[in-house]
Chains A and B, each alone.
Chain A
Amino acid sequence: MTVITVDHLQKRYGDTVAVRDVSFTVERGEIFGVLGPNGAGKTTTVESIAGLRTPDAGTITVLDRDPRDPELRRLVGVQLQESQLAEKMTAGEALELYAAFYPEPADWRRLADELGLGGKLTTRYGKLSGGQKQRLSIALALIGNPAIAILDELTTGLDPQARRDTWELVESVRDRGVTVLLVTHFMEEAERLCDRVALIDAGAVVALDTPAGLVARVSAEQRIRFRPSVPLDDSVLTGLAEVREVRRHGTQLEVIGEGNVLHAVTAALAAHRIIANDLRVEQASLDDAFVRLTGRASTGEQS
């Protein structure tokens, strides 16, 4: 069952086109990733879905309603990028206050325990660590028992351990039946969490697939690196049908090819009694798919 439909969404700010043409649907119970480089239009897209922005063109429906329908405010929990709380409000006060906003809120104490905030209820927001603030923000998005949770860049600025903890958290959110719309520019995050991904670049969807499906689009190519035990003439390999290109990096050879290139190369080497030392086969990752499909490098872990 489809819970979110985005159809030819367009949004500009003055002369800047933030979203040119974005369409996708999100099914109930999945973790759907909106992936793309910084400035691609991801946040504008999800903020339109959250009812915070009015599209210039195109239509969005959330649970069969207009995104601005006030009724959706209790059905959709939103964790916004760079949204904070009052510095001197404690975590417990924030949870209790926000729980009062909803007709059927979750038990905020239990929610805090589940998110590992149980011991931090009397700590003021300003004294929480980055990871704790982020978990509190997620807790506030879930406190109304929403059907859909929109999580925007939720692991940006977290250390690797906190990031992995947050991923487990998102999976547990999905496990309780909440549909998750996840905005991210981390490949690893999308690969690990998302059932399906819309890859957005320059305001348009360039690919819509499962993470594995996206990788498969570019994985026809393989790269093999090794150090031959004796010097070797390139023609030994370039003559093979599966090999497209051979590059030399000092004593190391890099062979780029398609299909069963690994077998072809090892067979040719064996025939010449050459041993391939330090052999490595590189397969495409979501990172490669990202670079190939958007024409630019993805942001690294530490951004």
Chain B
Amino acid sequence: MHVFAKLTRSEFRLLLREPMQLFWIFVFPSLLVVILGCVPPFRKPNADLGGLRVVDLYVAIAIILTLASLALQVAPMVLATYRERGILRRLATTPVRPVTLLGAQLVMSLLTAIGSVVLLLLVGRLVFDVALPRQGAGFAVAFLATAGAAFALGLFVAAVAPGGKAANTIGTLLFFPLMFFAGLWTPREVFPEVLRRIADLTPLGAGERAVQDAMSGQWPAWGSLTVLVAYMLVFGLAAARLFRWE
């Protein structure tokens, strides 16, 4: 097996040994949709939401939640811990470059996110009859762009945080406001106009909008995709410049 595949498998195996992280990544997003779906009014079409049901909206929000947990909380902590424990330095003394481990961690995270999203879509479809994304290609683009922006932010946190604990704290501090703008507590459809405009400029707000667009059959708004790509480039490049290997 190729070294990269072995590293990715090893990262995945380590994630499987973290029950709390697995809960937040795999179980909680689907559980959230199930709990909200159990509230009868949330299963009725709502004119304020453009004829959608609350449970419809929360499938998209839960997709963003999955990406946010992985990109802002798990990945920065894992990578900063790898630096703190000298694991990246040890790799630098082997034929494998430390950046390979970083890549394996990101690929593992993305595959994990895809798995969790598939589970979410299935739960939504089978339990609450939430339509699968009608704009398939647009959904893939919106998902990947959001993942790109979120992981660029997470890498930036891993780059500037002195250690694993600090990375986790910074990630969590970012997680709550960013998830607020993604509509975790109140969907953006019922935000006041000003708040919605701000949300559209935040990475997870723009991501939620793009994913929601694709879910309901539209191509994601170019404005949202532009915001996502901008976050990906700015924080991705900053992380690449600032990342310390020891």
Is B87's CB under 8 angstroms from A83's CB? Answer: yes
Contact present for A101 and B89 (CB under 8 Å): no
For the complex, give the distance between the alpha carbons of A85 and B95 in Å.
Answer: 17
Q: Out of B14, B17, B82, B94, name the residue touching A144 (CB < 8 Å).
A: B94
Query: How far, in angstroms, from A76 to B93 measured CA to CA in the complex?
Result: 8
Instruction: Give residues of chain B (71-89) contacting chain A, Cβ–Cβ below 8 Å.
Output: 81-82, 85-87, 89
Interface-facing stretch out of B3-11, B45-53, B125-133, B190-198: B3-11
A249 CB-CB contact with B under 8 Å: no
- Asked if B134 is an interface residue, CB under 8 A from chain A, the answer is no
CB distance from A136 to the nearest CB of B (A): 12
Q: Could you tell me if B1 and A52 are in contact, using CB atoms closer than 8 angstroms?
A: no
* B3:A101 contact, CB within 8 angstroms: yes
Interchain CB contact under 8 A, B95 and A102: yes
How many residues of chain A get a CB closer than 8 Å to chain B's CBs? 26
Q: Nearest Cβ distance between residue B7 and chain A, in whole angstroms?
A: 7
Encode contact with B along A61-76: 1 for CB under 8 Å, 0 otherwise.
0000000001001101
Contact between chains at A101 and B86 (CB < 8 Å): no
Residues of B near A50 (CB, < 8 A) are 93
Contacts of B244 in A (CB 8 A): none
Residue A15 at the chain B interface, CB threshold 8 Å:
no
Residue of A whose beta carbon sits closest to that of B17: A88
Residues of B contacting A4 in the complex (Cβ-Cβ under 8 angstroms) = none
Beyond A89-B10, A97-B10, whether A52 also contacts B93 by CB under 8 A is yes
B95 neighbours in A (Cβ, 8 Å): 70, 73-74, 101-103, 144
Q: Contact at A93–B3, with CB atoms within 8 Å?
A: no
Q: Is the CB of B90 within 8 A of A140?
A: yes
Q: Are A83 and B94 in contact (CB under 8 A)?
A: no
Q: Point out the residues of chain B lying under 8 angstroms from A76, CB to CB.
A: 93
Cross-chain contact A78 with B13 (CB below 8 angstroms): no
**Is there a chain A Cβ closer than 8 Å to B234's Cβ?**
no
A84 at the interface (CB under 8 A from B): yes
Interface size class of B (residues with CB under 8 A): 20 to 34
CA distance in complex: A83, B13 (Å)? 21
Contact of A88 among B1, B14, B89, B246 (CB under 8 A): B14
Q: How far is the CB of A92 from chain B (nearest CB, A)?
A: 12
A147 to B188, CA, bound (A): 62
- Cβ 8 A contact of A100, one of B1, B81, B90: B1
Q: Give 1 or 0 for each of A196-215: 1 = CB within 8 Å of chain B CB.
A: 00000000000000000000
Rounded to whole angstroms, the CA-CA distance of A98 and B93 in the bound complex is 11
Query: Which residues of the partner chain B approach A233 to less than 8 Å between Cβ atoms?
Result: none
Q: Does B92 contact A (CB under 8 A)?
A: yes
**Closest Cβ neighbor of A82 among chain B residues:** B86
Residues of B within 8 A of A102 (CB): 94-95
Given contacts A73-B95, A98-B94, A144-B94, contact A85 B14 (CB under 8 A): no
A102 and B13 alpha carbons, distance in the complex (Å): 21
Interface residues of A (CB under 8 A from B): 50-52, 70, 73-74, 76-78, 80, 82-86, 88-89, 93, 97-98, 100-103, 140, 144
30 A–B contacts, CB within 8 A, in A order: A51-B93, A52-B92, A73-B95, A74-B95, A76-B93, A78-B90, A82-B86, A83-B86, A83-B89, A83-B90, A84-B85, A84-B86, A85-B85, A85-B87, A86-B81, A86-B82, A89-B13, A89-B14, A93-B10, A93-B13, A97-B6, A97-B10, A98-B94, A100-B3, A100-B6, A101-B3, A101-B94, A101-B95, A102-B94, A144-B95
